[in-house]
Amino acid sequence: MKKLNILILGLFIVQLSKAQIGKQWDKTFGGTEYEFITSTVATSDGGFLLAGYSKSGASGNKSEAGRGGYDYWVVKIDANGNKTWDKRFGGSGDDILFSAIQTTDGYLLGGYSNSGAGGDKSQASQGSNDYWVVKISSTGAKQWDKRYGGSGDDYLTSVLQATDGSYLLSGYSSSPASGDKTYNLLGTEGFADFWVLKVDASTGSTIWDNASGTPYTDQLYSVVEIDGAFLLAGYYPYGGDDENMDFIVFQINGTNGNFVEDKDFYFGGDNNDYLSTIIKTADGGYLIAGYSNSIDSYNKSENPRGGYDYWILKTDANFKAEWDKTLGGTSDDYLLSAVQTADGGFLLGGNHTLALAMKKVRETGVWPISGR
């Protein structure tokens, strides 16, 4: 089996105890080709849904043959890592699952696809890559699927169930107003904007869509709901040259997705800063996390350790920076996820040059424990 490391070329899960950084169990899931994990969901029954994409046929832990190139692949496991079921969803092309959530009645899977109608996909792509959402039951049975896209490329990176029960589908798009997209690009052809849709939970029908961003290439990777509005977080090229990326966070209202004036925030150093996630913290503020190769400059208080390093920035509720921390080794370290722990600290996960890296930091940004 061609299985390497979590978030690279395989599905390898390590659960950490609350009291200490000690392994409780590990499991490997995959077939004879490549599997990539992109989302892990802690489920209400105490287990987990592992979500990603696979090129394998029915082999190893995978029970269904592939449809085309890469397909969505989800694996449901119990609290001890034992597989309960697995499901594959795809068409004749490549289908890349990027985000998954547990809903009130099952799961919602979201990513992007260039497949035509066929297999598990009921609608052909509008252009090249389109958003593709698959709603499944708690046992993995498909309930409906829906494609959203324009004539260009559209990449869905985040799905969220809003407090009103609807789904928010977020990502970035290089499409002009066409197909399912009603907004033109803010920049010129070849650039991309944040593109957000609010859809009905029963059928996936669009309630509204909206595009936001700068006149340059903006890529969205994380969304948080706050008081009837949404915070969109990603990165954009400071200076407009598609280089020197900075973190960007801004707010849209929940009624129609319009940009909220004076609610846009920018963070970065003098080089590249790529945002992966934003989380709301227990004190009402936010942790903004990603990876950076910037030196000590602007919002960044430390020089890089090697190439790219984890970079986390803690803000208050109004996005005033409180502290930041650079974590890394002599090679490249890519932070991809962050959660706040029961003791007020944060658990950070990502890649360390082809290896899993997890780091635990206290709420003040001190790094007392590390493991690779």
- For 98-117, what is each residue's pLDDT tens digit? 999 999 999 999 999 999 99
Which of 9-23, 158-172, 270-284 is the least confident region? 9-23
Amino acid at 359: K
* Cα distance between residue 110 and residue 51, in whole Å: 10
Task: Please work out, in degrees rounded to the nearest 5, the angle formed at the alpha carbon of residue 348 by the alpha carbons of 344 and 354.
Answer: 165
pLDDT at residue 203 tops 50:
yes
Which of 12-26, 38-52, 112-126 is the least confident region? 12-26
Please say whether the dihedral angle defined by the alpha carbons of residues 135, 141, 142 and 143, taken in this order, is positive or negative. negative
pLDDT at residue 269 tops 50:
yes
pTM score of the predicted model: 0.89
* Cα distance between residue 87 and residue 15, in whole Å: 23
- The mean predicted confidence, pLDDT, of the chain is 89
Decide if 351 contacts 8 (C-beta within 8 A). yes
Strand pairing report for 95-103 and 193-199: unpaired
pLDDT, greater one: 348 or 65 = 65
* Cα distance between residue 312 and residue 327, in whole Å: 8
Reported as a pLDDT band with limits 50, 70 and 90, residue 215 is confident
Residues 6+ apart with CB under 8 A from 210: 183, 195, 196, 252, 256, 257, 258
